[in-house]
Structure 1
């Protein structure tokens, strides 16, 4: 089964529901699957190919999303399941990116993906725990508005630490931590439990590369079928090019999109052209940036808001333009290399744990990273010694939100320290600091080793962005799939010794080894990476009138998380502000999201109708 959608679902416990809630949901649901008891279980709107359901007596199992599961395969797997404890072993080997839901003799089980590319949220609605793939569905049910503290958090850059990065934008709506499942009991109670844990990091490069190659091959094969026309990004970089060659290997016909940046010295289009010459059954499309809509085009157009503020805002018009070109040539799906940067290479902080296993190797790697990233000697020494506990790190981060990030030269430990832009108000700083201190009082890190914690968090950041890209693409008529963010790919990378995957003397050594013999050598040996800085600045200048209007009527100022005068200076003179592109883009994304939310108070996915594709109500399960 392969597909992506802008659909939705909720999962309900096997119990009587308050009449008002059930009526509201069923009024908007196009698709429905019942519990074995006959009560509503899965309600929503999805394409038939996106959900596989199996039934065995008082047990039901559903896989929702892009997966290798078939009806017969899932029915066979369900025979091995008696309780929730049997589920994950029974599902082992199912590839793709998907949610899992089970109804087992009155007990419910729901989970998303470990990477966060398929997220799960929960809320208590009229005394009943409801799960959903979209936080906004639950916000609509509860009637709540955005949380001011969450708005403040989204002004921070370059990213938020775990667990703040996973939180939903609405009070009363909780995100289930990726890697955890929600267990729904017949009495209405619920609990979370881990279903995923990272594999031991023990494989050498050669063995790990074989595992990654197979994981990527299967991830692409789930989306690519012989003869199927696929759109695909072909940037000229290693990530997207690898997916194109794997899709061609699977027999898909490719229509590729390459952006030709005007920046002097950019080489992406040269590498992409040489790759396209080696791809069979490909139609390469090249889009000169001067012929595309400027960055930030559409600031004045109100769209259906995403689940959270997203930097997709910057390139939305450009992606719509290229998506239209791909669609007109028959593409029904678009492959993206998004996530490769986060997944295949660990942060350099792996050297801390390496020092305990192999001091000589750790010192050599530290010297290499120090030279490459220009770390001060004292900072490199502190990295080897360790930064203290994760709660202490979060507490320190709360105290350093106002620091100028350009003065930070130390390497990351538990992750990049969040910083607030100069235009964030005192209330924003207080709210975000309170969130960080609250997290410090109760959270455990994702791994005891801070290098491994940081790598897993990077992967989940990629997964979160992949979900936003998928939804944005679906709303543009061409769903975007990010195979690097599949759980099996993430596991394959985490199983490799980090000193092999993160060598400072080669670029993405794990992926290069995995694609050796399939992707042309000149791609695997590339060490440069292009940028679009001039296009970014041109877009801001071109849309200065819209930025001025935003400055004069800012929703962030109204919410109390931005200073009006400082924000006006930032929007009208972005090149003069500290923090650079990440600081400004996060602010623009949050401001735009608030405006979109005000213009579209009812989620569009609740009013969409897909009768030709969706499961009819109470369709017989496989």
Structure 2
């Protein structure tokens, strides 16, 4: 539900009137009578507590009772409010207001997130960049556009950036403080649970308990719910967990044209075993929209920037009304499962740190099966540089135009790659942003590369989940991804890193967690389902239109892309190791810029 929060300031009256025109006319007020939160008429604010001189509200009620008596001292003090804010923000937006100012906290994944901007030096905070864009008239930020074109860009250093100049997002695991008469500042609230790794069985029990708690909380007000059932392990696990909890649900999936994608049979077998209806849609190749230049101009969607899930957009356009037609208002997805339980690039370095010489056998096996060059692999695994040192080293190489060290692929994050079609101006914007990030000496999101990459990736999935809710707000569906929930993430991070490299089972930790209610045989090593063939099929269908369309590209007009270098890749993505993801990224940025132009012409 879009809302905007204003400071308790005499200058906020005019902003409040404009916010009412943009957002709605429901107003929560300060004791002074000035507007505090302005939201849609149907918004439901839940008053959590009113400690002396303070007020705490959230967008959904807490799932369990809270020990409000712990709220002592300064109401904006980080330590006194931290546990309550963390509890509420696991599934909602937390807003706490008191004499020390206002605290805003979203969840770890960013599916509940805050944004802020200055409007004539008046700080505004919202859950929607669309609201802030409408209030401030923000223009696209060219640096953010250029960053969106690069490959393997680290997420955390740029998590605060949006696609709009002057609109800032609250970073991963951070909360926003708006002091009286001051400028907003952010502070870290989340860090991984400390202590030594638990045995796999004990960590799996923690994951199981957390998953059950999250599923109960996310579906507690629903009768019938719906869920993805692709045939992959993540969505299938959620379906079995829903069944274990006795929840009524229906399942949906799309298929692939690839003969090597064998998940259809597994999905049907699981649905039959669970006794649930499985609705199947045509293959993704028939609905994929990754390479269309058809520019939509909905201002709320445009404010999100280029959607990072455009290949699935066509499928979701048919899925959402089908889900709504069942009467379900809660739909579960398996987003985050790969990040939480599977191999990530930094896992080998983390396993070496965890097991030392005892890891040699498993590392050698993965080096051979992955065909990783031995010397760079060994060097990367043994690397002990800090996150900040790794970032500085990688940024220096990018700035100097040097090829990245292959060993760096196994560290805190894979080195970013600047596409050859970026202009000198585009490269300068990316390098400048990287150098600024490195100079800030950022901290990692975890104690080792695996934990850091897990949380970064979970935040990426959270962005996708949040955008689902924004784009399909008219359907009334709440999209849920239990594997991105902080409680499940923290439980999974207590397991030994080596559990990700089990020789017998895929996702061993998840297999242990759902073993009481899901057939263990489903986790036996096998080929994974893959939709690459469907995306290639769409590209083949559209490539001539792409080449013609990019002859007059907005990215070229802005001086970011050299169309002569780009056009051959648009026609054949196999050239110079350029892949579909890189092309999808540049097409998404171009489509977004064209949609902004269309919006400007329609309102001009």
TM-score scaled by length of structure 1: 0.87
Query: 1:373 matched to which residue of 2?
Result: 370
Name whichever of 105-114 and 348-357 sits farther off.
Answer: 348-357
CA deviation vs aligned residue, 1:172-225 (integer Å, no higher than 9, x gap):
222222211112222324432222221125222111111111111121112224
Equivalent residues of 2:293, 2:549 under 8 A apart? no
What's the offset of the Cα at 1:261? 1.5
CA distance in 1, matches of 2:371, 2:362: 13
CA distance in 1, matches of 2:340, 2:45: 25
CA deviation vs aligned residue, 1:298-346 (integer Å, no higher than 9, x gap):
6424142251222322221121112222222322232111111112346
Indicate which of 414, 419, 422 corresponds to 2:420.
422
Query: 1:300 matched to which residue of 2?
Result: 294
CA deviation vs aligned residue, 1:537-586 (integer Å, no higher than 9, x gap):
22123334542453133111111111122233333333445221111111
SS at match of 1:192: strand
Instruction: Provide closer, same or farther for how the CA distance between residues 365 and 474 of structure 1 changes in structure 2, counting only shifts above 3 A.
Output: farther
Query: 2:180 matched to which residue of 1?
Result: 186
Name whichever of 126-135 and 353-362 sits farther off.
Answer: 353-362
What's the offset of the Cα at 1:361? 2.4
Indicate which of 243, 247, 252 corresponds to 1:248.
243
CA distance in 1, matches of 2:315, 2:350: 43
Instruction: Provide closer, same or farther for how the CA distance between residues 476 and 592 of structure 1 changes in structure 2, counting only shifts above 3 A.
Output: farther
CA distance in 1, matches of 2:213, 2:602: 34
Matched, 1:496 2:487: no
What's the offset of the Cα at 1:409? 7.7
Greater relative contact order (Cα 8 A, min sep 6): structure 1 or 2?
1
CA distance in 1, matches of 2:262, 2:353: 41
Q: How do residues 267-286 of structure 1 correspond to structure 2 at under 5 angstroms?
A: 267-280=262-275, 282-286=276-280
Q: How do residues 220-369 of structure 1 correspond to structure 2 at under 5 angstroms?
A: 220-225=215-220, 228-280=223-275, 282-289=276-283, 292-296=286-290, 299-304=293-298, 305-345=302-342, 347=344, 349-356=346-353, 358-369=355-366
What's the offset of the Cα at 1:113? 1.4
Query: 2:433 matched to which residue of 1?
Result: 435
Instruction: Provide closer, same or farther for how the CA distance between residues 244 and 199 of structure 1 changes in structure 2, counting only shifts above 3 A.
Output: same
Name whichever of 89-98 and 590-599 sits farther off.
Answer: 89-98
Name whichever of 361-370 and 312-321 sits farther off.
Answer: 361-370
What's the offset of the Cα at 1:231? 2.1
TM-score scaled by length of structure 2: 0.89
What's the offset of the Cα at 1:396? 3.8
Equivalent residues of 1:115, 1:490 under 8 A apart? no
CA distance in 1, matches of 2:49, 2:599: 37
Equivalent residues of 1:147, 1:170 under 8 A apart? yes
Instruction: Provide closer, same or farther for how the CA distance between residues 290 and 472 of structure 1 changes in structure 2, counting only shifts above 3 A.
Output: closer
What's the offset of the Cα at 1:32? 2.5
What's the offset of the Cα at 1:39? 2.4
Equivalent residues of 2:96, 2:104 under 8 A apart? yes
CA distance in 2, matches of 1:449, 1:464: 23
Indicate which of 57, 74, 77 corresponds to 2:68.
77
CA distance in 2, matches of 1:488, 1:133: 22
Query: 2:191 matched to which residue of 1?
Result: 197
> Could you list the runs of 5+ residues in structure 2 that have no partner in the other structure?
none
Instruction: Provide closer, same or farther for how the CA distance between residues 456 and 578 of structure 1 changes in structure 2, counting only shifts above 3 A.
Output: same
Q: How do residues 381-420 of structure 1 correspond to structure 2 at under 5 angstroms?
A: 381-386=378-383, 388-398=385-395, 399-400=397-398, 411-420=409-418
SS at match of 2:185: strand
Query: 1:618 matched to which residue of 2?
Result: none
Aligned residue-pair number: 592
CA distance in 2, matches of 1:423, 1:537: 21
CA distance in 1, matches of 2:498, 2:284: 41
What's the offset of the Cα at 1:145? 1.0
SS at match of 2:394: helix
Equivalent residues of 2:129, 2:303 under 8 A apart? no
Equivalent residues of 1:473, 1:479 under 8 A apart? no
CA distance in 1, matches of 2:323, 2:100: 46
Q: How do residues 544-583 of structure 1 correspond to structure 2 at under 5 angstroms?
A: 544=543, 546-576=545-575, 578-583=577-582
What's the offset of the Cα at 1:54? 4.0
Equivalent residues of 1:161, 1:418 under 8 A apart? no
What's the offset of the Cα at 1:46? 7.5
What's the offset of the Cα at 1:110? 0.6
Indicate which of 31, 39, 45 corresponds to 1:44.
39
CA distance in 2, matches of 1:176, 1:371: 41
CA deviation vs aligned residue, 1:151-170 (integer Å, no higher than 9, x gap):
11000123434212442112
Indicate which of 30, 39, 44 corresponds to 1:35.
30
What's the offset of the Cα at 1:227? 6.8
Instruction: Provide closer, same or farther for how the CA distance between residues 273 and 586 of structure 1 changes in structure 2, counting only shifts above 3 A.
Output: same
SS at match of 1:160: coil
**Aligned-residue CA RMSD in angstroms?**
3.0
Instruction: Provide closer, same or farther for how the CA distance between residues 50 and 549 of structure 1 changes in structure 2, counting only shifts above 3 A.
Output: farther
Name whichever of 538-547 and 336-345 sits farther off.
Answer: 538-547
Instruction: Provide closer, same or farther for how the CA distance between residues 54 and 33 of structure 1 changes in structure 2, counting only shifts above 3 A.
Output: farther
What's the offset of the Cα at 1:101? 0.6
Instruction: Provide closer, same or farther for how the CA distance between residues 177 and 523 of structure 1 changes in structure 2, counting only shifts above 3 A.
Output: same
CA distance in 2, matches of 1:227, 1:471: 20
Name whichever of 286-295 and 130-139 sits farther off.
Answer: 286-295
SS at match of 2:107: coil
Matched, 1:175 2:169: yes
Instruction: Provide closer, same or farther for how the CA distance between residues 404 and 230 of structure 1 changes in structure 2, counting only shifts above 3 A.
Output: farther
What's the offset of the Cα at 1:8? 1.4
Indicate which of 93, 117, 120 corresponds to 1:123.
117
Matched, 1:444 2:445: no
What's the offset of the Cα at 1:287? 1.9
Instruction: Provide closer, same or farther for how the CA distance between residues 427 and 9 of structure 1 changes in structure 2, counting only shifts above 3 A.
Output: same
SS at match of 1:517: coil
> Could you list the runs of 5+ residues in structure 1 that have no partner in the other structure?
1-6, 605-622
Equivalent residues of 2:306, 2:588 under 8 A apart? yes
What's the offset of the Cα at 1:255? 1.9
